Structure 1
Amino acid sequence: MSFLYPTAFWFALTLPVVVACYLLKRRRKTELVPASLLWNRFLAENQANAPFQKLKRHTLLILQLCMLLLAILALSAPFFRTHRFASEMLIVLIDTSASMQSTDVAPSRMHQAHEAVEELIATMDGNDQMMLIAAGNPTRVIQSATSSHADLRRALKHLQSTDTATRLSEGLKLAATLAEGIDHVQIHLFTDGAVSDLTDTTLSGIDLVYHPLGTRGNNVGIVSMDIRPNPDDVSSRAIFTSIANYSNASKNLILELRFEDQLLEARAMTIEAGATSSVNFIAPQERAGVFDVSFQTDDDLAMDNQAAKVSLMPQPIRVLLVTSGNRFLERAIASAPQVELAVTSQWEPSAAEADIVILDDIEPERLPDQNLMAIHVFPDAWFDEVKEILNPAIVDWQSTHPLMRFSQMEGVSIASTGGVLTPPWAMPVVESAQSPLILAGEDQGRRVVWLGFRPLDSTWPLRVSFPIFIQNAMQWLHPGEAYAERSNIQTGEALIIPLNAETGSPEILPPNQPWQPHQREDMDRQWIYNETSKQGIYRFRQGQRSEVFSTNLLDPSESDNGPRETLQLGNYGQMEPTRQERAQLQSWRWILLVALGILMLEWFIYHKRSA
């Protein structure tokens, strides 16, 4: 037997106090009686000079001492060591994602995880160590390896669930890395299994224990929201939302659309069990602001019942085309919405007032600072070597990239292209077997689209995919589009805020928090703000300048909060819950029950004698 709180035995000093109470003589009350014949024994005792009397065998004294001893023993929390995990190092991975706020286990699944980890901490002896890792966005170590129960409980107490998607894959990889080179390591994973990022995760040689959390899946959540210009009316916006019902019953709700907290429309709807419904709104917009959609319903996860996005007013796209002549390209650019096109045959930086510069087979001495489309241009700053490739065959293109939306490259023939290696700042969008054909990325603060071939040396301008690609490129390169993208991010992602030369100190206002200043260095050109784990609206100000940002969950895996009995690891592996007896069987509850029984017995004997 061992004790969690051996200091409780100091209360044993109260045992002599109980005994002393039985040694002290009771003070007698003086009364007049007719004769003392019947009171001789009492008079002999009362006439003794000593204040104490001889200790006699007393049943109540024995019961009271036993009861006090049992109470002290219960306070010391005795336990018996039984079967336990044979480990010297325990790495505990705790899911802190949004689904851990579910209330199917009162008060929340996060509280359930706290209790389960507390029990695991109690199983540690003096030779064991434990490390705590929070698996959220981002994943982080909240307590390094330690044997101190107090330090572990302190770190666990401050661990809270966030509004972010889970990153169990990153957490498992981090835990596996930390376990390298250590003998007898066990990784304990506490999660409800609402995760989608484990399909590419494979672990080998790792002793992994899965602790599933939660009891049911009962949630309705907003899983997507997008705002686009209304093609039929440039003064209004189209708001596209998707709401998924992950419960076992149909749900009736009222979806409300607001702009800057003003109710625009409310729409009643019914979503069947397991179904996803798409709802589209058309709303007028005369100024930049925030659209939000929300509803109220009886489910276990409330934070995904609302989503908000910043909507900016459309701005003209000023495009400067530097070319020696390309009618196909000119017409494709001019057909893009909101484009104001200017054409020149020579690049002059001092005269350029454009949002986008397109270099069509013309390479200046110095590249423009604006967002750039470079066609058959090979700057030394990007490529160390260029080789001509004849008749390159297109083998792949990134259909999910914004540049390739609704654009197909199948059947396009190219006469020749410049063969290059992909620079670090770019990613291939269209590729041949020998070289990338189209690259996209950000270089020195500007967005760049690069084509290694002349469109006129291909069949591409004759296909409908060519003007679609050019329109996509104009939208992607437009500075307003880039600003809109960084104005609406997912919770947990970093806010990247450009800083200007104004003397005002930059500050940010997170949801339900005070303004937070930024300690800016003289050379800082941007502020990377990482504390975005809370869903809502973030407001930035610097001098006279102000901006608004939104963070949203919008993750179907988190909204689908039903607990998983098994987790799929990679293509073939599965992780099932491990059932083990607790390593410490605490017995203080039974001791208190025995003490209570003795107290009742003492009460019974005392009152029986009194009667």
Structure 2
Amino acid sequence: MEFLNPAALYGFFALPLLLVPYLIRRKPRRMVFSSVLLFIERGTQASVKPWGRLRLPPIFFLQLLLLLLLILALGEPVFSVRMSNIAIVMDNSASMQVQEDGTERIALARDRARRVIADLGASGKVDIYRTVPRLEKVNKNTLSPSDAAALLVRLEPYDLADVAANYNDLLNQLAADQKYERVYLITDRPARGQSGATRVITVGRPRDNLAVTAFNISPASLANARWEAQVEVTNYSAKDWRVEVTLRAGVAALASREITAPAGRSGLASFQGFAEHPYYEAEIDVQDALALDNRQFAVPASSRNLKILGVSPRPQALRSLRAIPGVTVDIVAPEDYEKTDRSGYGLEIFHLSTPAMLQANPLLLILPPDDNPLVDLGDPVIRAEASGWQESHPLNRYVNFALFRPTYARPLKPQVAGETLVESQEGVLAFAVERQGKRHLVLGFDPFPYLGRDNLPMSIFTLNFLDWFLAGSVKGQLTGQPVVFETIQQKTSLTNPRGDKHLLNAGAASFPDTFFQGIYQLSRNDNRLLFAINYQEAGESDLRERNPINLQETNGGKSSVSALFSFWPYLLTLSLILFIIEWFFVPPVLRRGVGAGAIRPNLS
């Protein structure tokens, strides 16, 4: 027998309260009788104690039976028969790699799945499903219990976050479509409620955890051969942590920093002046619940040059950027932009112009027209003075804002979420937006032409935003996102972080199965192309409280083949019958008997 609502059974702990009315003795009161002969025997036993000797009349047992039946009915008891056709859905997301007393959650899940399979008969049928990257069946043909147990051993978690899905609808629909008698989801997320055809089995408990949530490398500047890095560490716990952050090039440690990650917040470690290497790894030295998110990887850009496509009705101003080492500029008129091949550019600058919509490339808008997609513009200001700026932002490094006075400016009124970098009394002068890993910057003043030492504050600001755009092109990708590369001309291979080689046919331009964190290597002739793929998902790294899975019965689930026989409606009906008997047929004197002995004659 099972209970669909087992929480109702906690009502059994309240049953002893039924005894309280039979223990309490009401305070005696004076009454006049014509004769006290009938009370003499009982009167001699009168007592002023508030608690009397326990006397349980028959009505008590009827009330007790009534409450027992009500609690059982609320628990929704059902009889189950041995099932012969089930599905086991295994959560194989990244959080199933969490250690629970030295054992991974996925191992605990396999053990629970084997117990479920053991309850099947020898002729039972099993299908195994996994949840990421999508809900899909692992086996091609229906498995016997022994084959299903063997397949579970080979099922491993991916470095992917759990998909945002309505498991209540998915699992009930799965049971209805495939005619499963029962669908089991084995996960580390808690569950609320149950349904007739679906069961959730939860493994693991809330844990504290730390994670590397950002790792960015960039050249110190366009003209500097050295590199710099920033590592963000987030603390998903209620106490402060002191952690050591190590920067590596391959297996060789380059430098380390010790930082404090405050409770529920992030700490930042910075590294400067290291040489260029094929790839880098940032790692925190801490023994926490999930080792996967204790590291991230990065690959430097294949070129330190910044190729710019300039769109301007005044091309002479943009040509001045060619004086900066490492910068290549191609300039087109606004009316020719749509006809231009824009592939291969690391930055598009719209000078006194704007695109019809945001583009895939990083974007710089300088004094854009009013119909641009990011900001509205205020009234013109002559000799605008900066009144506030973010000192920590890379765009504002080394800039003397006391001397920063654009001749002509139009304050910006942002229309999208972003970051204000520089502002004046009249409004925002520089506004940054980052969307889908692409950086966009809007300036309410014209930093061109580039004059070098002749206008030092503006020249430093120009170099800063060019470095900022160049650094934005060095970011890695997330697990689950395809690796994109130029179309290959002949058959080649791609090696994932576990050393598995995947053959790619001629004409391929991407590799979708990035299920593991690390460095992916594409062999191309005698060259190798490296890609950094990182796991980064706050919802999976925060192990303190997982979002519960809410289950309820659906029409589709009710129409599926059921292995349950529910008899709680009969218990409820019997409870109502007993209630009617107790109310209408038990003599009132017996009901008044609760607290018997309350009326005592005065024999004095």
Residue 286 of structure 1: how far off its partner (Å): 4.5
Residue 558 of structure 1: how far off its partner (Å): 2.0
Does the CA-based 8 Å contact 2:123-2:144 persist in structure 1?
Answer: no
Please give the secondary structure, in 2, of the residue aligned with 1:311: coil
The equivalent residue for 2:161 is 165
Residue 525 of structure 1: how far off its partner (Å): 4.6
The equivalent residue for 2:138 is 142
Structure 1 CA distance for aligned equivalents of residues 81 and 483 of structure 2: 43
The equivalent residue for 1:550 is 532
Does the CA-based 8 Å contact 1:94-1:191 persist in structure 2?
Answer: yes
Structure 1 CA distance for aligned equivalents of residues 335 and 538 of structure 2: 45
Residue 89 of structure 1: how far off its partner (Å): 5.2
Please give the secondary structure, in 2, of the residue aligned with 1:498: coil
Asked if 1:511 corresponds to 2:485, the answer is no
Per the normalisation by structure 2, the TM-score is 0.53
Asked if 1:362 corresponds to 2:362, the answer is no
The equivalent residue for 2:486 is 498
Asked if 1:311 corresponds to 2:300, the answer is yes
Q: 1:161 to 1:326 in 2, by over 3 A?
A: same
Cα deviations across residues 473-501 of structure 1 (Å, max 9, x unaligned)?
7999x99889745xx22223322232344
Partner amino acid, structure 2, of 1:115: D
Residue 289 of structure 1: how far off its partner (Å): 2.9
Map 1:117-136 to 2 at 5 A: 117-125=113-121, 129-136=125-132
Cα deviations across residues 106-159 of structure 1 (Å, max 9, x unaligned)?
421111101111111223347865432111235431136736212322322211
Map 1:13-24 to 2 at 5 A: none
What root-mean-square deviation, in Å, do the aligned CA atoms of Structure 1 and Structure 2 show? Answer: 5.2
Does the CA-based 8 Å contact 2:322-2:329 persist in structure 1?
Answer: yes
Structure 1 CA distance for aligned equivalents of residues 252 and 116 of structure 2: 49
Structure 2 CA distance for aligned equivalents of residues 515 and 105 of structure 1: 34
Q: 1:241 to 1:363 in 2, by over 3 A?
A: closer
Correspondence for 1:252 among 231, 242, 258: 242
Partner amino acid, structure 2, of 1:90: I
Cα deviations across residues 487-534 of structure 1 (Å, max 9, x unaligned)?
x22223322232344x6x42222224254443x24xx152x3234222
Cα deviations across residues 153-200 of structure 1 (Å, max 9, x unaligned)?
232221112222222528766545534445675442211129xxx9xx
Asked if 1:263 corresponds to 2:248, the answer is no
Does the CA-based 8 Å contact 2:183-2:198 persist in structure 1?
Answer: yes
Structure 1 CA distance for aligned equivalents of residues 99 and 111 of structure 2: 15
Per the normalisation by structure 1, the TM-score is 0.53
Partner amino acid, structure 1, of 2:533: T
Residue 214 of structure 1: how far off its partner (Å): 0.7
The equivalent residue for 2:548 is 567
Residue 542 of structure 1: how far off its partner (Å): 1.1
Residue 328 of structure 1: how far off its partner (Å): 11
Cα deviations across residues 264-302 of structure 1 (Å, max 9, x unaligned)?
322223445x43332131322553532221122222222
**Mind listing any 5+ residue stretches in structure 1 that lack a counterpart?**
1-81, 346-359, 379-396, 418-428, 433-457, 574-581, 584-611
Structure 1 CA distance for aligned equivalents of residues 367 and 121 of structure 2: 63
The equivalent residue for 2:408 is none
Structure 2 CA distance for aligned equivalents of residues 569 and 329 of structure 1: 60
Q: 1:309 to 1:147 in 2, by over 3 A?
A: closer
Q: How many residue pairs were aligned?
A: 399
Percent of aligned pairs sharing the same letter: 15
Asked if 1:243 corresponds to 2:225, the answer is no
Residue 538 of structure 1: how far off its partner (Å): 1.6
Partner amino acid, structure 2, of 1:530: P
The equivalent residue for 1:282 is 271
The equivalent residue for 2:285 is 296
The equivalent residue for 1:111 is 107
Q: 1:244 to 1:516 in 2, by over 3 A?
A: same
Residue 406 of structure 1: how far off its partner (Å): 11
Residue 308 of structure 1: how far off its partner (Å): 1.3
Structure 1 CA distance for aligned equivalents of residues 288 and 523 of structure 2: 37
Structure 2 CA distance for aligned equivalents of residues 107 and 169 of structure 1: 27
Correspondence for 1:530 among 498, 504, 512: 512
The equivalent residue for 2:202 is 212
Please give the secondary structure, in 2, of the residue aligned with 1:368: coil
Structure 1 CA distance for aligned equivalents of residues 354 and 241 of structure 2: 56
Q: 1:170 to 1:229 in 2, by over 3 A?
A: farther
Q: 1:279 to 1:174 in 2, by over 3 A?
A: same
The equivalent residue for 1:489 is 477
Cα deviations across residues 237-275 of structure 1 (Å, max 9, x unaligned)?
442322223345544332111234432322223445x43
Q: 1:489 to 1:408 in 2, by over 3 A?
A: farther
Map 1:28-427 to 2 at 5 A: 83-84=79-80, 90-125=86-121, 129-143=125-139, 146=142, 148-167=144-163, 169=165, 175-181=171-177, 186-193=182-189, 207-230=197-220, 234-247=224-237, 249-272=239-262, 274-287=263-276, 289-312=278-301, 313-319=303-309, 321=311, 325-326=313-314, 330=318, 339-343=327-331, 360-362=334-336, 367-368=340-341, 370=343, 413-414=370-371
Structure 2 CA distance for aligned equivalents of residues 113 and 471 of structure 1: 42
Partner amino acid, structure 1, of 2:535: L
Does the CA-based 8 Å contact 1:93-1:189 persist in structure 2?
Answer: yes
Partner amino acid, structure 1, of 2:524: Q
Structure 2 CA distance for aligned equivalents of residues 297 and 253 of structure 1: 7
